[in-house]
Amino acid sequence: MNKAHPTSTPMIGRSLDTRKDPFRPKDDDEEVLGVEIPYLSAIGTLLYLTQCTRPDISFSVNLLARFSSTPTQCHWNGIKNIFRYLKGTIDMGLFFPYIEKIGVTIPVNDINKENVVPYNETPNDILVGFADAGYLSDPHKGRSQTGYVFTIGNTTISWKSTKQTLVATSSNLSEIIALHEAVRECIWLRSIITHIRGASGLSSTTKNPTCIYEDNASCIEQMKVGYIKGDNTKHISPKFFYNQQQQTLLKIQVNQVRSEDNVADLFTKSLPKATFEKHVESIGMRRLSKLP
């Protein structure tokens, strides 16, 4: 791939038409790649990047990892497209901003004991989450995609892109499942933050509630009122309304955000270039060449 031309996104546009989807399962007349093609090695390498420093390729890697047992040429082309994207963004990574104290910007490497800002006085210690679902992202098996991301100081600290294990019978159900997974992760993150604060001699309680942003209005309304059995909700398992209980116990707020501003879209579907670059910047990824 050294001489390949870089691409602006890790995945080409997809079609939910099962016959036109470039990343469909192997057809009967297609051949499986031979052992000379290092498909599994490429997937392993990309999974390492995805889990450590490159959340921007999470969805594309998760999608192509599903075909590890029977990869075809179209799947291999998708792998090479990701590598072309990485080749053009090799200097990109998660950027953790400077600590600010009374209007003075202090580089993290230059911090000394006199300039250290207490954790509970730093505006960058607020945990914020985004959750979204890609309904029927896998049209071949009728499965949707769960995606969520949590940031502190506008930089990502936790993210996930995975295919849902249940067949969602509506887009509302797929959003509730995604929000359920995000709330579970939020509870774990809050416990870690509480442990770190306590070990550092700070107050172990977080005063501010954690906001999780979701773009589905009906999903948000159902989380506020709890489980109500009716014709529109009887197909939804009551366990997913566990989120409503946690909003009260652990001060988790679910707020609505416009679809175009929901950065969790990055983890549920392939996006156009402009939208993709906007969300990549929103989760705190920066190029070294563009840093001051």
Residue 252 pairs in a beta bridge with 210
Beta strands in 12-65 (DSSP E): none
Pairing of strands 285-287, 143-152: unpaired
Q: What's the confidence (pLDDT) of residue 50?
A: 96
Domains and CATH numbers, the chain: 1-90 (no CATH), 106-290 (3.30.420.10)
Would you write out the chain's pLDDT as a tens digit for each of its 292 residues?
788 899 999 998 887 788 888 898 998 888 999 999 999 999 999 999 999 999 999 999 999 999 999 999 999 999 999 999 999 999 999 998 864 443 444 444 444 444 433 333 334 578 999 999 999 999 999 999 999 999 998 899 999 999 999 889 889 889 989 998 998 899 899 889 888 888 888 776 666 788 999 999 888 887 777 656 666 666 677 666 665 565 656 678 889 999 999 999 999 999 999 999 999 999 999 999 888 7
Asked whether the beta carbons of 174 and 168 are under 8 A apart, the reply is yes
CA gap 107, 121 in Å, rounded: 17
Rounded to a whole number, what is the largest CA-CA distance in the chain? 69
CA gap 242, 235 in Å, rounded: 16
Asked whether the beta carbons of 260 and 276 are under 8 A apart, the reply is no
Q: What's the confidence (pLDDT) of residue 144?
A: 95
Q: Hey, how many other C-beta atoms are within 10 angstroms of the C-beta on 192?
A: 12
Helical residues (DSSP H) of 149-271, grouped into ranges: 171-199, 217-225, 242-249
The torsion angle over the Cα atoms of residues 269, 275, 276 and 278, rounded to 10 degrees, is -140
Asked whether the beta carbons of 78 and 11 are under 8 A apart, the reply is yes
Residue 26 contacts by C-beta under 8 Å, 6 or more apart in sequence?
A: 32, 67, 70, 72
Q: What's the confidence (pLDDT) of residue 205?
A: 62
3-state secondary structure of 177: helix
Q: Which residue has the tokens 């950027």?
A: 95
Report CA-CA distances (Å) from 57 to 67, 86, 168, 256: 17, 9, 25, 25
- The two three-digit tokens of residue 145, written as one number: 């995609």
CA gap 98, 250 in Å, rounded: 29
Q: What's the confidence (pLDDT) of residue 201?
A: 84
Q: What's the confidence (pLDDT) of residue 103?
A: 42
Q: What's the confidence (pLDDT) of residue 251?
A: 73
